[in-house]
């Protein structure tokens, strides 16, 4: 048997976790009312979207999703989507899947609303970039489960806490890839904007953001993927949706339920991934949406030329 | 008022740039500053560009020319010195004023085109007008005109990536022209194009400049390009302007060994003009003089023909020794005059290369200015010895003052 050596007492005990907790308690007590309001808004938004998603017959929505996939990418993704959605319906997982989708949509939007402007700031200022980098490292590498503790304390059990944890967990790629995308824009092209007298805001809107778009969209794609995985983990704190099914599958050792929910997550993930990936990688001048738009906006003069 | 005035511009990269400028002004050299962690890119550059002039800044990469051009429109603020555009100080301008100056006064063409890849060709060309706040219809119309001017018709709705390099740079040029500023900055605008297209674009630029009268500041590392398009050329080395002058001045009178080395492999016959090799028209007959005077002049100068000019020095024709000899008793020379054939009449700025053809057909070429006045004569022998002298100068760079022995030689040649 291995005898564990008694630790030398040179290193004093460092109650970092305790310190954080004390700080957090103060934070919670001070802003309790605020977080109540935030929680209500978040819950309302997610419930609202879920209600919209669940309003039509599942099959109708499945067809709409398939059409969307065809429009953004091609008929193959359209058919794949239809088959996947029908599978979810067949497994009886449609309602929880839509709950999860609503959570992912809201979490993604919030993460983008916070992350993209931060990314823009980081791209413009080396100081902001230097400050944000370790913060993003921290958010990204901290195990997702850890975030569940403080959010439950703030929002108690429920979908609001799960959403906040999801946003924290999924924020980093939005910031990082926005910054990267803007920094990658050819310096000469930005100079061209300046040389013709464009202001910083015009350059951002007309040059930097459009050119950074493929990279930003890759970030959006990652945010969605991370949101989905965290939304399932959120089942532990009452996120509802597929997460709840997975958790009850685990706690009752119900293999069938676990797999049904798990496969539904996989289908949702593939659908969202392909959809957003093809929006991001689409080069200007390609894609069915643009084709359609051009067909209807092309004036006789320009089509003659 | 000059279009561009650059006053003692300095750009020193590094934390204490201003200190670097002071040290340079006190006589420190570049290596000293580099040891202190400073990089002087442009050192004490002063020049003026007149309205409607093509001014070329020529230097190798790292000579500071790109930094220099970016100080003209304020993309790089100078560490010291200032730039005036039509008397307005752009270096002192900030924010809104700076952007207004850029919109109204100065546009730029970039080495790698710097087109907006997500915008159609016409929207690229219209960009300057867009920042000026011109309404959409109007700016598309004007952008379309600019594209046509640059020889790009029918590509309006395409994306830049669908165009070849030469065409993309035409879009870049059209974007600058459409903005309708009177100053055009061109940063190695043709360097990324292959040689044939480059020649083509150079010709087109000169043509456009004559048509539109823009003031052009052109940056290049290609001396032949500089000589071809520049009215005046500034030679840059290690951040300093070492010489400013016309192509000929730089060729015939290089300021130092560096410039001399540089110009050594230029095709001089393309750069040098009739004006630089012609002889003053000494042996010329006035139209009112008679055959006897003509005969005497020809004997004195050992030549077999004479150009005849009127009182206002306008070229009337020429007479030959044979004809004059036969009619010595005649009082008036008019009946003996033969018109000078077109091939034997050239303008002062005809390049040397274009003189060989005429020289094969006639013993002497008349150099006639725009008003029809005889400004000089190039005997065939002069042309040949000019070539020989430059060939020598090419092989021996140190004979920078090639012009001196040339004139002596040619005089001898003409007399002998």
pLDDT digits 0-9 by tens, B288-327: 788 888 888 888 877 778 888 887 888 888 888 888 888 8
Quote the pLDDT of residue A304. 38
Q: What is the DSSP letter of B339?
A: P
Q: Is B103 on the interface with A (CB under 8 A)?
A: yes
Write down the residue that tokens 């310096």 correspond to: A187
Contact A195 B108 (CB under 8 A): yes
What Å distances lie between residue A73 and A69, A77, A151, A156, CA to CA? 6, 7, 38, 41
Question: For residue range A200-212, what is the model confidence (pLDDT) as tens digits?
Answer: 999 999 999 999 9
Predicted confidence band at A110 (pLDDT cuts at 50, 70, 90)? Answer: very high
Is B394 domain-assigned?
no
Q: What is the full DSSP assignment across A124-164? A: H-HHHHHHHHHHHHHHHHS-HHHHHHHHHHHH-SSHHHHHH
Note whether B141 and B188 are same-domain residues: yes
Quote the pLDDT of residue B291. 83
**Residues contacting B54, CB < 8 A, separation 6+:** B205, B206, B209, B216, B218, B229, B230, B231
Mean pLDDT value across chain B: 83
Is the model more confident about A136 or about B362?
A136
Residue B203 pLDDT exceeds 50: yes
Name the residue ranges covered by the structural domains of chain A: 32-283
The CATH number of A32-283 is 1.10.3720.10
Contact B99 A198 (CB under 8 A): yes
- Asked if residue B245 lies in contact with residue B341, where contact means CB atoms within 8 angstroms, the answer is no
- Rounded-to-integer distance, Cα A229 and Cα B180, Å: 55
- Rounded-to-integer distance, Cα A57 and Cα B333, Å: 112
Interface test with A, best of B67, B99, B122, B123 (most A CBs within 10 A): B99
Residue B215 pLDDT exceeds 70: yes
Note whether B124 and B220 are same-domain residues: yes
Note whether B74 and B222 are same-domain residues: yes
Question: For residue range B43-69, what is the model confidence (pLDDT) as tens digits?
Answer: 999 999 999 999 999 988 888 898 999
Residue B70 pLDDT exceeds 70: yes
Chain A contact set for B157 (CB, 8 A): 302, 305
B375-384: average pLDDT: 81
Least CB-CB distance to B114: which of A191, A284, A285? Answer: A191
Mean pLDDT value across chain A: 86
Predicted confidence band at A2 (pLDDT cuts at 50, 70, 90)? Answer: low
Q: What is the DSSP letter of B353?
A: G
Residue B138 pLDDT exceeds 80: yes
Q: Is B185 on the interface with A (CB under 8 A)?
A: yes
Note whether B237 and B283 are same-domain residues: no
Residue A119 pLDDT exceeds 70: yes
Q: Which of A54-68, B110-124, B387-401 has the lowest mean pLDDT?
A: B387-401
Chain B contact set for A193 (CB, 8 A): 127
Residue A42 pLDDT exceeds 60: yes
Note whether B88 and B61 are same-domain residues: yes
Least CB-CB distance to A284: which of B128, B154, B159? Answer: B159
Domain range enclosing B308:
275-384
Task: Return the half-sphere exposure (C-beta side, CA atoms, 13 A cut-off) of residue B1.
Answer: 7
Q: What is the CATH number of the domain that holds B182?
A: 3.40.50.300
Is B44 domain-assigned?
yes
Note whether B212 and B309 are same-domain residues: no
Question: For residue range A280-303, what is the model confidence (pLDDT) as tens digits?
Answer: 665 444 455 656 665 555 444 444
Q: Is B117 on the interface with A (CB under 8 A)?
A: yes
Least CB-CB distance to B118: which of A188, A192, A284? Answer: A284
- Asked if residue B185 lies in contact with residue B108, where contact means CB atoms within 8 angstroms, the answer is yes
Is the ipTM, as predicted for this complex, more than 0.90? no
Note whether B215 and B295 are same-domain residues: no
Quote the pLDDT of residue B20. 87
Chain B contact set for A197 (CB, 8 A): 99-104, 128, 131-132
- Rounded-to-integer distance, Cα B166 and Cα B306, Å: 50
Contact A284 B175 (CB under 8 A): no
Chain B contact set for A186 (CB, 8 A): 112, 114
Taking the CA of residue B81 and the nearest CA in chain A, the distance in Å comes to 20
Note whether B249 and B319 are same-domain residues: no
Give the total number of structural domains in chain B.
2
Q: Which of B223-237, B245-259, B275-289 has the lowest mean pLDDT?
A: B275-289
Is B32 domain-assigned?
yes
Domain boundary among B268, B296, B325: B268
Note whether B71 and B112 are same-domain residues: yes
Note whether B40 and B93 are same-domain residues: yes
Contact B114 A186 (CB under 8 A): yes
- Write out the two tokens for B256: 């130092």
Residue B393 pLDDT exceeds 60: no
Note whether B134 and B103 are same-domain residues: yes
Q: Hey, CA dihedral for A199, A200, A201, A202, is it positive or negative?
A: positive
Contact A197 B103 (CB under 8 A): yes
A262-272: average pLDDT: 92
Least CB-CB distance to B157: which of A194, A207, A305? Answer: A305
Note whether B147 and B224 are same-domain residues: yes
Predicted confidence band at A126 (pLDDT cuts at 50, 70, 90)? Answer: very high
Contact B115 A189 (CB under 8 A): yes
Question: For residue range A16-38, what is the model confidence (pLDDT) as tens digits?
Answer: 888 888 888 888 888 888 888 88
Size of interface A-B (CB pairs under 8 A): 69
Is B96 domain-assigned?
yes
Least CB-CB distance to A302: which of B100, B118, B157? Answer: B157
Write down the residue that tokens 């013993």 correspond to: B363
Quote the pLDDT of residue A66. 93
Interface test with B, best of A185, A189, A196 (most B CBs within 10 A): A196
- Rounded-to-integer distance, Cα B358 and Cα B368, Å: 14
B23-28: average pLDDT: 86
Least CB-CB distance to B110: which of A192, A206, A285? Answer: A192
């Amino acid at each position: 048997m291995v005898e564990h050596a008694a630790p030398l007492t040179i290193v004093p005990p460092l109650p970092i976790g305790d310190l954080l907790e004390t700080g957090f308690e103060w934070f919670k007590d001070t802003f309790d009312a605020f977080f109540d309001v935030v929680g209500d808004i978040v819950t309302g938004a997610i419930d609202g979207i879920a209600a919209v998603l669940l309003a039509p017959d599942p099959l109708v929505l499945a067809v709409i999703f398939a059409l969307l996939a065809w429009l953004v990418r091609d008929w193959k993704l359209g058919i794949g989507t239809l088959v996947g959605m029908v599978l979810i319906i067949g497994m009886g997982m449609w309602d929880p899947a839509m709950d999860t989708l609503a959570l992912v949509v809201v979490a993604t939007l919030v993460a983008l609303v916070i992350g993209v402007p931060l990314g823009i700031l980081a791209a413009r200022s080396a100081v902001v970039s230097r400050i944000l980098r370790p913060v993003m490292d921290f958010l990204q590498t901290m195990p997702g489960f850890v975030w569940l503790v403080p959010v439950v304390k703030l929002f108690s059990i429920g979908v609001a806490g799960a959403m906040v944890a999801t946003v924290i967990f999924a924020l980093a790629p939005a910031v990082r890839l926005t910054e990267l995308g803007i920094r990658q824009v050819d310096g000469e092209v930005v100079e061209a904007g300046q040389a013709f007298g464009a202001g910083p805001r015009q350059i951002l809107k007309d040059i930097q953001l459009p050119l950074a778009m493929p990279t930003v969209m890759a970030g959006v794609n990652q945010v969605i993927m991370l949101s989905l995985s965290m939304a399932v983990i959120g089942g532990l704190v009452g996120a509802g949706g597929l997460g709840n099914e997975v958790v009850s599958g685990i706690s009752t050792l119900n293999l069938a339920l676990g797999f049904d929910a798990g496969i539904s997550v996989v289908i949702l993930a593939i659908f969202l991934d392909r959809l957003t990936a093809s929006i991001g990688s689409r080069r200007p001048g390609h894609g069915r949406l643009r084709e359609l738009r051009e067909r209807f906006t092309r004036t006789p003069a320009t089509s003659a030329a | 008022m000059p279009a561009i005035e650059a006053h003692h511009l300095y750009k020193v990269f590094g934390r204490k740039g201003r200190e670097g400028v002071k040290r340079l002004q006190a006589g420190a050299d570049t290596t000293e500053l580099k040891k202190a962690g400073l990089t002087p890119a442009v050192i004490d550059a002063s020049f003026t560009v007149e309205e409607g002039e093509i001014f070329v800044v020529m230097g190798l990469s790292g000579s500071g020319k790109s930094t220099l051009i970016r100080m003209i429109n304020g993309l790089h603020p100078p560490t010291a010195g200032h730039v005036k555009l039509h008397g307005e100080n752009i270096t002192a301008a900030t924010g809104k004023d700076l952007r207004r100056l850029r919109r109204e006064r100065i546009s730029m063409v970039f080495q790698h085109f710097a087109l907006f890849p997500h915008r159609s060709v016409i929207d690229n060309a219209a960009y300057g007008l867009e920042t000026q706040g011109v309404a959409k219809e109007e700016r598309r119309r004007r952008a379309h005109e600019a594209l046509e001017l640059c020889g790009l018709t029918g590509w309006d709705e395409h994306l830049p990536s669908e165009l070849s390099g030469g065409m993309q740079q035409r879009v870049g040029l059209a974007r600058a022209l459409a903005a309708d500023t009177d100053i055009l900055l061109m940063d190695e605008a043709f360097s990324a194009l292959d040689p044939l297209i480059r020649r083509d674009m150079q010709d087109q630029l000169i043509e456009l400049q004559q048509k539109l009268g823009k003031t052009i500041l052109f940056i290049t590392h290609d001396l032949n390009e500089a000589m071809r398009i520049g009215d005046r050329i500034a030679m840059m080395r290690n951040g300093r302007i070492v010489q400013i002058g016309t192509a000929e001045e730089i060729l015939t009178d290089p300021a130092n060994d560096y410039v001399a080395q540089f110009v050594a492999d230029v095709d001089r016959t393309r750069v040098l003009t009739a004006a630089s090799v012609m002889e003053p028209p000494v042996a010329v007959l006035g139209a009112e003089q008679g055959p006897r005077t003509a005969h005497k002049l020809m004997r004195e100068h050992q030549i077999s023909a004479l150009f005849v000019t009127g009182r206002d020095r306008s070229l009337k024709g020429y007479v030959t020794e044979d004809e004059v000899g036969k009619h010595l008793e005649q009082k008036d020379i008019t009946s003996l005059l033969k018109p000078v054939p077109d091939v034997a009449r050239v303008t002062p700025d005809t390049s040397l290369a274009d003189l060989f053809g005429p020289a094969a057909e006639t013993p002497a070429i008349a150099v006639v200015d725009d008003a029809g006045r005889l400004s000089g004569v190039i005997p065939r022998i002069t042309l040949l010895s000019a070539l020989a002298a430059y060939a020598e100068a090419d092989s021996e760079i140190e004979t920078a003052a090639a012009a001196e022995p040339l004139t002596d030689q040619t005089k001898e040649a003409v007399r002998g």
